[in-house]
Amino acid sequence: MSNEINTDVLIAGLGAAAYSAALYCKRYQIDTVIVGEEFGGETAIGGLIENYPGQPDIDGFDLMMKFKEQVDNLNTETFDSNLKSVEKISDESFRSTLNSGEIFLSKSVILAMGRERRKLGLDNEEEWMGKGVSYCSTCDAPLYKNKESVAVIGGGNAAVEGAILLSKYAKKVYLVYRGIKFFRPEPILLEILNNSENITILLETEVNSLLGDEKGLTGIEINNNINQKKHISLDGIFVEIGADPRLEIPNQLGLEINSDTGEVHVDKHQTTSETGIYAAGDLTDGTDLKQTITAASQGAIAALSAYQNVLNSKVKK
């Protein structure tokens, strides 16, 4: 087809794993295209990062801008659209189609699309997004400066961190979690949480419904472990209940999925069950440590594997 664009490697994603992969692919001097819509992935919305080597106390968005600038400086071609489909058309070639219509033929594909934030699945949740319902504490916390009360839903590290951040803006913060104790938050965060005077912790508590009107959310109905229902008036809620790997493309390709984690299974070379398809970052079961530094590392490893695959295909010709 005349409108197909040929490249050696197509990289899907715009987060740490994807940009790292693109950087290494360009340095290997192979034709590289990077595609995606959500700039920066989890890192960009992660707020202040204090554990990235060489970059103490840097905002996640700023760190990802540095990743992007380094890749852009190598004249990497970028398309602002997500993958619609990937199909294997020969032993050494894949056809990738974007939502925007562009079609690419490549010898290797690196999947680094990360995860998608989980939702509560309650009525009006999507309707009130941006009208009192948020999925990113670090993004939207400043909007609630001097507001009376907000709630964070969740019990992991992100939820605890979000509640602490919001306590600096809103007058009162509820941290609502259905479990009997929080799910492995960093000890230092737990200490800060327990010393925060304007955070109320509600364990063994479920959110039954979202309350509101035509303007948006006005509160929630909760139910505790002894089946007591209660309405809480709120200016906003922040849903921090984790994220799921984006598996639409991996499932199209029939890639092996880790049955325990629901992540794309990769080996130490970031190779998937399909030759020529590699995966990196939060999408994979490569490590339990989901951090910017591990995503970047996996992206670099995936790039080397993709490069070697490209070389092998050229040798065969």
| Dist CA 83 CA 45 (whole Å) | 22
Candidates 79, 66, 77, 76; CA nearest to 40 is 66
Residues in the chain: 317
Q: Is 25 a catalytic residue?
A: no
| Dist CA 11 CA 71 (whole Å) | 12
Residue 270 contacts residue 252 (beta carbons within 8 Å): no
CA dihedral 70, 73, 76, 79 (to 10 degrees): 80
Residue 235 contacts residue 150 (beta carbons within 8 Å): yes
- Considering 8, 25, 136, 235, which one is annotated as catalytic? 136
Helices and strands (DSSP H and E) totals, the chain: 8, 19
| Dist CA 30 CA 33 (whole Å) | 10
Q: Is 139 a catalytic residue?
A: yes
- Considering 139, 244, 267, 288, which one is annotated as catalytic? 139
Which residue has 């190779």 as its token pair? 271
| Helices within the chain (DSSP H only) | 16-27, 41-44, 60-72, 137-140, 157-166, 187-194, 248-253, 292-316
- Considering 8, 140, 235, 282, which one is annotated as catalytic? 140
By annotation, the residues acting in catalysis are 136, 139-140
